[in-house]
Amino acid sequence: MQRTIFTTPVVNSVLRAFSIGFLRLTGWRVEGALPAHALRSVLIAAPHTSNWDLPYTLMVAFALRLNIRWMGKHGIFRAPFGGVMRWLGGIEVNREQSNNLVAASAKAIRESDGPLQLIVPPEGTRSKARYWKTGFYHIAREAQVPIVMAYMDYAHKRSGLGPLFEPTGDVDADMASIKAFYAPFKGKNATQFESTD
Look at the alpha carbons of 168, 150, 143, 193 in this order and tell me if their dihedral is positive or negative. Answer: positive
Length of the chain: 197
User: How far apart are the C-alpha atoms of 174 and 146, rounded to whole Å?
Assistant: 13
Question: What SS3 class is residue 42?
Answer: strand
User: How far apart are the C-alpha atoms of 63 and 61, rounded to whole Å?
Assistant: 5
User: How far apart are the C-alpha atoms of 12 and 22, rounded to whole Å?
Assistant: 15
Q: What is the pLDDT of residue 127?
A: 46
- Residue ranges for the chain with pLDDT beneath 70: 1, 94-99, 123-131, 192-197
Q: Residues 72-123: pLDDT tens digits? A: 777 888 888 888 988 989 887 766 654 578 888 888 888 888 899 999 888 6
* First-residue to last-residue Cα distance in the chain: 37
Exposure string of 20-57, with b = 16+ CB inside 10 Å and e = fewer, is: eebbeeeebebebebeeebebbbbbbbbbbeeebbebb
Q: What is the pLDDT of residue 70?
A: 85
Strand stretches in the chain, DSSP E: 29-31, 40-46, 68-73, 90-93, 116-120, 147-153, 158-165
Q: What is the pLDDT of residue 97?
A: 57
Q: What is the pLDDT of residue 29?
A: 98
Is the N-terminal amide bond of 80 cis, ω within 30° of 0?
yes
Using CA atoms, how far residue 42 sits from 4, 164, 183, in Å, is: 18, 10, 20
